Every structure is written in structure tokens, then in C-alpha cells.
Amino acid sequence: MKRLVYADNAATTPLSPRVLEAMLPYLREAYGNPSSLYALGQEAKEAVEQSRAAVAQCLGAQPNEIYFTSGGSESDNWAVKGTAHLLAKKGKKHLITTKFEHHAVLHAMAALEKEGFSVTYLDVHENGVVLPEELEQALREDTALVSVMYANNEIGTIQPIAEIGAVCKRHGVLFHTDAVQAVGNLTIDVKAQNIDMLSLSAHKFHGPKGVGALYLRRGIPLANLIDGGAQERGRRAGTENVAGIVGLGAAIQEACGDMAARAARLTAMRDRLIDGVLKIERSRLNGDRARRLPGNANFCFEGIEGESLLLMLDASGIAASSGSACTSGSLDPSHVLLAIGLPHAVAHGSLRISLSGQNTEEDVDFLLEKLPPIVARLRAMSPLWEDIVNGKSIS
């Protein structure tokens, strides 16, 4: 049987066996609607509330501050659009975000700009990190919201969230963070870090797809994104995805339970991978070397196209990506790599390798064995490579 090394965990993670086991009863015998008053419905409701408590505990929140959604994109849209529409009534129509957010935030911001809101897009600099002092300089009297992702989904750089939260609190501005990549990988305390809203998605930490949550600090009367029934205390209509919510709760308990040991092991594997890959001529690591997610390594290789690299890696039994799975059909270079200053030609030759706790040292060995000859083969086929090595660098 052909060996498969799955190294695209930033796109999605395989479902944990323990999570699947927790979900199965709610797909079979405990299938009641949580809004029903009879025992079968109340059993489902109790399971939903237990998962709500598990999410809250991992984030340092209260259970009544957790609202279940269909995933990170919905949570991002709810936080961004809900805050904008809420505070527009008070004349606050200015929003701040960064140039390398997930498209769920960027496209929500673009939609709001069409409604007459103004948006400031902060630089993230070569190392992929936002500077709190630049955020503070961008704040205005009419600023309603700051939305800065906790950790970037492509290059893995971790933002100074506590410092950003402190700036926002000092100026009385609401702060949202897309923590889809961070939850389960990093220790989060929404109270200590002054986070008002936080988005997460279960499938990024070995839970099921199609379910996520929004942490909404108590007392924020956020406008609803989805109206209808009275589910989620009247804030998010739609019959609850009970099995998915149970899976989210089980996954977040598992991820937060062994986070420190797993992060240490992943960081060592990641650093060994980075050291090995950077031995390839004209390769570069994208983003800060140390301030990054434990399992994330993002590279560029001059003289090759990322799509060809991915296809040849796949033929060798390695599943990786060139960036966000949400834009995998685009021919344009990554907006994240352009935001950190890479030219278009170099940004096209990117590779994201994202490891999880299910990866092994042998997987890293396999990656370091297969990747260099593939890069060499693609460069041998490239009409640009000879010009690059002769000093006509496209970087």
C-alpha cells in the first residue's frame, strides 16, 4: 500500500477516534431535537450544554458566552457584520483589520465597505506580525471594531493578541479575533487577553466539519446574522447540529487536555523540517521563525510553480498545500504572501506544510527525502531557473 503523509492539517484535520465515538449515539439513538420538551429532546439538549461548557472552559469564558455556529466563516461574519450594524446606529462606521486575514473577514469587510463603512487594513510586515502601536495609531473616534486573527492560516504567525486586546480596551473599542487556527494549539484566555469575540471551528482540531462557535462577551448586544427560531438563546436560529456540537466539545477537550506536550513535540518536528528544507537552494521560510504555530512551516522556492509542486508531492504520497484551502481554485498568488512583501513570481512558488499530533518523526523524514528532488526536477524543467541562477533573480 502506498504511503500517505498528510501534511495539510491547517486545511482540515482527520476526525479523532474518540470524537467519533462521542458523536455516534447522537446520530443513532439520541437523535432528539434539543428544543423538544420530552426526554429524547432533553437528552440532546443536555449534550449540547455539556459541549458549551467544554468550549467555555478551554477559552476561559462562561458557558452562556458560547454560541454554536456552522463554522469559522459564519462566526467571523457574525462578529464583523453584527458589530458593524450594531454600532453604526451610534455613528461608529470605521473598522480595522489586517491585510492578511482569512477571506471570511476580508470579504465581510468588503461587503460592509459597499454599505458605506470605512475600513483600515493594517500592514503585517515581512515577519507577518501586526504591531500594536500601529493599530493604536489607526484608531479613530468612530472606530467600532478591530478584527485581528490570532494566528495566520497560511504562514502560521501568532499575533500579539493580549497587547492588541489591551489597546482596544483602553480606547473602548470592541476586539474580535479569528482564532480558527489557534484553538487547540495555543493557550487562550479571553478575559486576560481582553478578547470580546472569538471565532473557532471544530475541524481544525480533529473535530467534525460544519460546526464551530462564536465566543461573545456577555453584555454585547450583537445583531443577529441568522433570524428564525429561538435556538441559542434567540441569537442564532436553526435546529442545533447536536452530533456535530458533541464532536466539537469532545475534540476541544481532547485538544486542550494534552496541548502543552503536543505543542512541544510538534515544535521540535517543525523546526527540524524547517532546517532541512532551508538547505534547498533559493528557498525561504515565510513568516517569523519562532512566533508561529507549532505545526506550521510555509516556504517559497524560486523558479517553480506551487501547483506543480503540490501535484508531484501528491504523486509521491504527500498531501500539502500552497495556502488556504478556501482559495485553492484561484490562480492568483496568496494575498498573505503579497502582504508580507513577496513579489508575485516568488509567491507563486509557495508550499504550506502543517503538521498535527497525528504526524510522526518518520513523516518528517519522508518529507525531507521527497521534497528536495522534486524541487530540483521542477527547476530543471523551468525556462526561468537558468536565468535565476545566473543572477537574474525574480525576487
Active site residues: 326
Count Cα neighbours of 20 within 13 Å in the Cβ-side half-sphere: 4
Nearest to 177 by CA among 128, 140, 130: 130
C-alpha to C-alpha distance for 28 and 22, rounded to whole angstroms: 12
328, 42 Cβ separation under 8 angstroms: no
C-alpha to C-alpha distance for 348 and 302, rounded to whole angstroms: 9
* SS3 (DSSP) at 333: coil
Per residue in 243-275, is it b (16+ CB within 10 Å) or e — as a string?
bbbbbbbbbbbbbbeebeebbebbbebbeebbe
Q: Which long-range contacts (CB under 8 A, 24 or more apart) does 39-46 make?
A: 44/240, 44/242
108, 76 Cβ separation under 8 angstroms: yes
Count Cα neighbours of 303 within 13 Å in the Cβ-side half-sphere: 24
**Residue that has been written with the C-alpha cell 500517505 in this structure:** 4
Question: Could you tell me how many helices (H) and strands (E) the chain has, helices first?
Answer: 14, 12
Q: State which H helix or E strand residue 41 sits in.
A: helix 39-59
